[in-house]
Amino acid sequence: MIWVPFLHWYQPPNQTREIILKVIKESYDPAISLLERYLNARITLNVNGCLTEQIVAIQPALLERIKTLVLAGQIELAASAKYHPLLPLLPKSEIERQINLNIETNRHYFGDIYKPLGFFPPELAFSNELAEVASRMGFKWIILDEISLDGSLENEGCAKIYQHKNFPNLTLFFSDRQISHTIRSTDKLEASSFWSEVKGKIQKSQYLITANDGETFGHHFKHREEILEFAFEDHEIQLFTLSQIKRKFAKKLQSIIPQAGTWETTEENIKQKNPFPLWKDPKNKIHKLQWLLTEIAIHAVEQVEKPEDDSGLVYASSRNHLDRGLHSCHYWWASAYPWWNPDIIIEGSTELIRSIRSLPELPASIKQKAEKIYAEISKTTWQWHWGDVAQKKIKKYDSLYRSKVV
């Protein structure tokens, strides 16, 4: 069988040095060491630009090792959005800006070897508006979750390659949800048993695409890098990058229009036409407030014209706070389904309000409206935390979902 592993490396822009070092030690360094040891190994890797900057500041030697593996053909680098926003929820102008920021940052640090052919949307969050932007920006492929194929899971069709009906230059790859989810969500996973079951399901002539956070392998789950090592050692498993798979298998492709979704979207979410509930649930009061503040911040930066002389960096500061404040984490932690962290929720909203506060030309009425929303986010967050709202949502999740093995 052929395995096409996609690894996504990301840490929030406000992550601490201590956590970055811990993740490097537990996940990033072991993965790179395995690639250095097994010359047959291949992965497709995305490193979000905000993490690239943190790696360069903390452990630049790691970046040099990645470069060496890219030049050796063992790593294919993919593009993404610099600060890890949930792209389908943003205006096209912000989508394009985040992608361009990511390209600029990674090209600055990786140099000319950073020439991504494909695109990884954070959380595999897809919409056809995003596909239009990705196609227009020249990407040749995009990776999606299985549910975006037709709104269902356990679909054998995800083991095929497609092209977008409206943007035929854009090849569509689909990650196998069940197997990817097993890797990133099962508490105890023994490598040989896992691969034995996978090989029993995937025919020798078939390929398997998985997509997971790079932090899964060692940081989130101790010893999970053994899943990689076992595959790298197993002569029955061939390793390919996504572009290699495209060259080998993408002949005459079926054209489809995928559905909106993420790697966490359920079939029930699709039926309810609510594909992004962990980041924007119409029934979640905090989400409603967060997106009201987000929309004000985006509109404020848009309506204030960038001055010819921004020597005081007033506009640049506002723009930077907005770029950082769009990262998906603070919306996700507000879902309480099952993850919950009041501090991260408020830190994200603080970036957004600082973006608004930094614009002296903005009318006071808009600033006052934003401040009220910001205060309400903080108030509601702590009410949920010290009351029982967050815990009830967490318990509901626990009662509905359990880690599933292959």
CATH number at residue 60: 3.20.110.20
Residue 315 lies in a domain: yes
Q: pLDDT at position 305, please?
A: 76
The answer to whether residue 280 sits within a structural domain is: no
As given in the structure block, the two tokens for residue 294 are: 């987000």
Question: Percent of the chain at pLDDT above 70?
Answer: 98
Cis peptide before 116 (omega within 30 of 0): no
State the residue range of the domain holding 221.
2-271
pLDDT at 404: 43
52 plus 196 within the same structural domain: yes
d(CA 3, CA 205): 11
Q: Are residues 232 and 325 in the same domain?
A: no
List the chain residues with pLDDT less than 50.
402-406
Answer yes or no: is 162 within a domain.
Answer: yes
| Residue 135 is assigned to a structural domain of this protein | yes
Q: Are residues 316 and 237 in the same domain?
A: no
Is residue 406 one of the residues assigned to a domain?
no
Domain boundary among 236, 271, 306: 271
Q: Residues 70, 137: one domain?
A: yes
Compute and round to an integer the Cα radius of gyration of the chain: 21
**pTM of the predicted protein model:** 0.95
Q: Angle 128-174-169 (CA atoms, 0-180°, nearest 5)?
A: 55
- Chain-centre distance of CA 6, in angstroms? 11
Residues 6+ apart with CB under 8 A from 233: 38
The answer on 206 and 297 residing in a single domain is no
Residue 60 and residue 157 in one domain: yes
Q: Do residues 239 and 297 share a domain? A: no
pLDDT of residue 310: 73
Q: Domain end: 212, 244, 271, which one? A: 271
SS (H, E, C) the chain: CEEEEEEEECCCCCCCHHHHHHHHHHHHHHHHHHHHHCCCCCEEEEECHHHHHHHHHHCHHHHHHHHHHHHCCCEEECECCCCCCCHHHCCHHHHHHHHHHHHHHHHHHHHHHCCCCEECCHHHCECHHHHHHHHHCCCCEEEEECHHHHCCCCCHHHHCCEEECCCCCCEEEEECHHHHHHHHHCCCCCHHHHHHHHHHHCCCCCEEEEEEEHHHECCCECCCHHHHHHHHHCCCCEECCHHHHHHHHCCCCEEECCCCECCCCCHHHHHCCCCCCCCCCCCCHHHHHHHHHHHHHHHHHHHCCCCCCCCCCHHHHHHHHHHHHCCCHHHHHCCCCCCCCHHHHHHHHHHHHHHHHCCCCCCHHHHHHHHHHHHHHHHHHHHHHHCCHHHHHHHHHHHHCCCCCC
Same domain, 127 and 255: yes
Do 225 and 366 fall within a single domain?
no
402 within a domain of the structure (yes/no): no
Which residue has 């995003």 as its token pair? Answer: 130
Angle, nearest 10°, between helix axes 225-233 and 29-37?
10
Which tokens hold the place of 67?
């470069």
Q: Are 232 and 30 in contact (CB under 8 A)?
A: no
CA distances from residue 341 to 14, 89, 398 in whole angstroms, order as listed: 14, 22, 17
Residue 326 lies in a domain: yes
Q: What is the pLDDT of residue 311?
A: 64
Pairing state of beta strands 171-175 and 162-164?
antiparallel
Residue 303 and residue 197 in one domain? no
Domain boundary among 271, 298, 324: 271
Mean pLDDT over the full length of the chain: 95
Q: Are 166 and 199 contained in the same domain? A: yes
| Number of folded domains that form the chain | 2
Judge whether 405 lies within some domain: no
> Do 139 and 234 sit in the same domain of this protein?
yes
Contact 197, 168 (CB under 8 A): no
Residue 17: Cβ-neighbour burial (10 angstroms; 0-12, 13-18, 19+) = exposed
pLDDT of residue 403: 45
